Chains A and B, each alone.
Chain A
């Protein structure tokens, strides 16, 4: 791994140059009122690498809220045509936990039946990560992630004073930096590691992650599911903002002219009432408590058992977005611990 250094001003000019050259679609973290979002960059002045959390994770660029899978002429089955929108994209300013989530999604969409619609978008992307420099009161990422986010990042940025230390992780990342005013890094490894870890999470899950699958299995019938479940509005905010909730629905849309149509994939979530309902109306998870349990089991048991990494990356968005204040895994596990 090559470690470089660039002044924050030079980095900004460099991104500005990239935007002028129209290198590829470039998105980054920008401010929206008191919040931050990933959005298309119009100028490098908009880019904010010093933020707490974005409203939505960058997942939206690889699994868009609504994406076209197929086009067709209505009622003509021989007209099905697969399509994709995978123009090259550069995403700047992804925190390590959102990268960890993309690592998990890459595993989910590439293993078993390979989902080319997602994978091609990922192949055509360049990811620039950054270590957080601001607190977010719901974040507990340190207690549930390892270094898996670095496996998908092309480079990681570390804030040190007026500089950014750049850990170049891939050839693609190296090539992207051509023309940047980088110099040899002269910070010590300790200075870099300290800067990466400058933000301590306010929260952590009360059970070591490697024990969570078994812990949940033992607590399938714990009162927490119904106790919290009965407060749930089934609004789906928690799954909508989640960087590892990749479940989806597929449906057809037809143009008003009735001559063209498309099969689209949209975000869906297991906390929504009809998620497990089958054709005759039977709902396999009709109770809110059962849906809450399913969501937590999926993050804490199913995905870890399948991929070897915790299925929640600790971003805290679900806890922040939940109207009833019941969605956060930390809160749920703490309640279980306190009510054994």
Chain B
């Protein structure tokens, strides 16, 4: 290592790649591949805003960008729902309560909750998109008086993929929000609810939504955006009322590694949350 310049302390202080330690406090399976995790940082709150993400790492396995699912809080604890899809997320699933992970972040832009005060909010979420959207949804519910109508639409592939089912039951019971959900297919499941892709839920809420007074927050898989935005255009939503969160491979989180670049934008810093109006001209965005 570097013996001549005495940089050991300096790099320890200044490295943008050095994670902090967080301890796993709670772990609860949500689907066969998705698990809820609550982590606690040592002596600070994560200080995130709704829609941001953090890099979670396990030494020896690697690092992965993960959406933060809890609302902003001064508490040292924060929540994530992680799908087992690669080596890092699989290793995270094997952790036991009390085990530790590395955390860098929070990174990226957030849902501009302050700018949305006094407006109606329409959340349109697909699959794992509910995870980051939940941070904004719970924020809106904690500050319910700051917003007018709050509507949440959630769609997923089949009933077995539903997330936060306990909370969804609570949301359904509340009379100050409207919640609808749908599944793409039902084979093998006992399901009495809506069947069809997420856009089939739009007619259920279109009558009570004033596009001039409503902001839409869309979070879902890449394939979803085009169809949802087309549906919103049919309801005469303007593009500056549509907020999207885009997925990319955000490897470093600090705008250097190049993996998340789309057109001239680094999604890890300029995004992941954008006004659709600001990115619709980009060829690679959606």
Assuming the A-B contacts A276-B249, A301-B264, are A261 and B2 also in contact, with contact meaning beta carbons closer than 8 angstroms in the complex?
no
The answer to whether A247 and B258 touch across the interface, beta carbons within 8 angstroms, is: yes
Q: In the complex, A117→B252 CA distance in Å?
A: 14
Q: Of A115, A116, A263, A285, which is within 8 A of B63 by CB?
A: A263
Assuming the A-B contacts A117-B11, A280-B85, are A77 and B57 also in contact, with contact meaning beta carbons closer than 8 angstroms in the complex?
yes
Query: Please, which residues of chain A bring their CB within 8 A of the CB of B102?
Result: 77, 80
- Interface residues in A271-315 by Cβ distance below 8 A to B read 275-280, 282, 284-285, 290, 294, 297-298, 301-302, 305-306
Query: Please, which residues of chain A bring their CB within 8 A of the CB of B230?
Result: none
B203 close to chain A: CB less than 8 A? no
The answer to whether A120 and B264 touch across the interface, beta carbons within 8 angstroms, is: no
Q: In the complex, A131→B101 CA distance in Å?
A: 50
The answer to whether B17 and A69 touch across the interface, beta carbons within 8 angstroms, is: yes
A-binding segment of B18-26, B44-52, B186-194? B18-26
Q: In the complex, A11→B102 CA distance in Å?
A: 51
The 8 A CB mask of B50-84 against A (1 = contact, 0 = none) is 00000001111111100000000000000000010
B-binding segment of A82-90, A154-162, A176-184? A82-90
A286 CB to nearest B CB, Å: 12
Q: Of B3, B17, B58, which is within 8 A of A75 by CB?
A: B58
Q: In the complex, A288→B56 CA distance in Å?
A: 31
The answer to whether A75 and B60 touch across the interface, beta carbons within 8 angstroms, is: yes
The answer to whether B89 and A248 touch across the interface, beta carbons within 8 angstroms, is: no
Query: Please, which residues of chain B bring their CB within 8 A of the CB of A230?
Result: none
Q: Of B5, B14, B17, B257, which is within 8 A of A124 by CB?
A: B5
Main secondary structure of the interface of B (DSSP, over half): loop
Assuming the A-B contacts A113-B254, A263-B17, A305-B264, are A275 and B5 also in contact, with contact meaning beta carbons closer than 8 angstroms in the complex?
no
Q: In the complex, A117→B15 CA distance in Å?
A: 7
B14 CB to nearest A CB, Å: 4
Residue of B nearest to A277 (CB): B249
B233 close to chain A: CB less than 8 A? no
The answer to whether B252 and A250 touch across the interface, beta carbons within 8 angstroms, is: yes
Q: In the complex, A88→B10 CA distance in Å?
A: 16
B286 CB to nearest A CB, Å: 10
The answer to whether B8 and A278 touch across the interface, beta carbons within 8 angstroms, is: no
The answer to whether A83 and B8 touch across the interface, beta carbons within 8 angstroms, is: yes
A228 close to chain B: CB less than 8 A? no
Query: Please, which residues of chain B bring their CB within 8 A of the CB of A84?
Result: 1-2, 7, 11, 15
Query: Please, which residues of chain A bring their CB within 8 A of the CB of B161?
Result: none
- Interface residues in B135-188 by Cβ distance below 8 A to A read none
Q: Of A73, A87, A284, which is within 8 A of B262 by CB?
A: A284
Query: Please, which residues of chain A bring their CB within 8 A of the CB of B252?
Result: 248, 250
B211 close to chain A: CB less than 8 A? no
B255 close to chain A: CB less than 8 A? yes
Query: Please, which residues of chain A bring their CB within 8 A of the CB of B115?
Result: none
Query: Please, which residues of chain B bring their CB within 8 A of the CB of A298?
Result: 258, 261
Q: In the complex, A263→B252 CA distance in Å?
A: 12
Query: Please, which residues of chain B bring their CB within 8 A of the CB of A172?
Result: none
Residue of B nearest to A113 (CB): B254
Query: Please, which residues of chain A bring their CB within 8 A of the CB of B284?
Result: 284-285, 290, 294
B112 close to chain A: CB less than 8 A? no
Q: Of A76, A80, A114, which is within 8 A of B14 by CB?
A: A114
- Interface residues in A59-74 by Cβ distance below 8 A to B read 69-70, 72-74
The answer to whether A72 and B11 touch across the interface, beta carbons within 8 angstroms, is: no
The answer to whether A261 and B3 touch across the interface, beta carbons within 8 angstroms, is: no
B248 close to chain A: CB less than 8 A? yes
Q: In the complex, A81→B251 CA distance in Å?
A: 19
B240 close to chain A: CB less than 8 A? no
Query: Please, which residues of chain A bring their CB within 8 A of the CB of B64?
Result: 279
B110 close to chain A: CB less than 8 A? no
- Interface residues in B88-122 by Cβ distance below 8 A to A read 89, 99-102
The answer to whether B221 and A117 touch across the interface, beta carbons within 8 angstroms, is: no
Assuming the A-B contacts A115-B16, A298-B261, are A279 and B83 also in contact, with contact meaning beta carbons closer than 8 angstroms in the complex?
yes
Residue of A nearest to B262 (CB): A284
Q: In the complex, A84→B9 CA distance in Å?
A: 10
- Interface residues in A182-229 by Cβ distance below 8 A to B read 220
Query: Please, which residues of chain B bring their CB within 8 A of the CB of A247?
Result: 257-259
The answer to whether B258 and A248 touch across the interface, beta carbons within 8 angstroms, is: yes
Q: In the complex, A82→B20 CA distance in Å?
A: 11
Assuming the A-B contacts A77-B100, A84-B2, A285-B284, are A302 and B59 also in contact, with contact meaning beta carbons closer than 8 angstroms in the complex?
no
Assuming the A-B contacts A82-B18, A120-B5, A268-B257, are A297 and B263 also in contact, with contact meaning beta carbons closer than 8 angstroms in the complex?
yes
Query: Please, which residues of chain A bring their CB within 8 A of the CB of B86?
Result: 279
Q: In the complex, A301→B252 CA distance in Å?
A: 22
Query: Please, which residues of chain B bring their CB within 8 A of the CB of A246?
Result: 256, 258
Assuming the A-B contacts A220-B283, A302-B264, are A279 and B89 also in contact, with contact meaning beta carbons closer than 8 angstroms in the complex?
yes
Q: In the complex, A112→B283 CA distance in Å?
A: 25
- Report 6 cross-chain contacts, Cβ distance below 8 Å, ordered by A residue: A83-B8, A88-B5, A116-B14, A263-B63, A276-B249, A298-B261
13 further interface pairs, Cβ-Cβ under 8 Å (given A88-B4, A247-B259): A76-B59, A83-B1, A86-B5, A87-B2, A114-B14, A115-B16, A220-B283, A246-B256, A261-B59, A270-B258, A278-B247, A280-B85, A280-B221
Top 8 closest A-B pairs, CB basis? A247-B258, A74-B60, A82-B15, A72-B59, A77-B100, A113-B254, A116-B14, A82-B18
Contact surface of B with A, Cβ cutoff 8 Å: 1-5, 7-8, 10-12, 14-19, 21-22, 57-64, 83, 85-86, 89, 99-102, 221-222, 247-249, 251-252, 254-259, 261-264, 269, 283-284
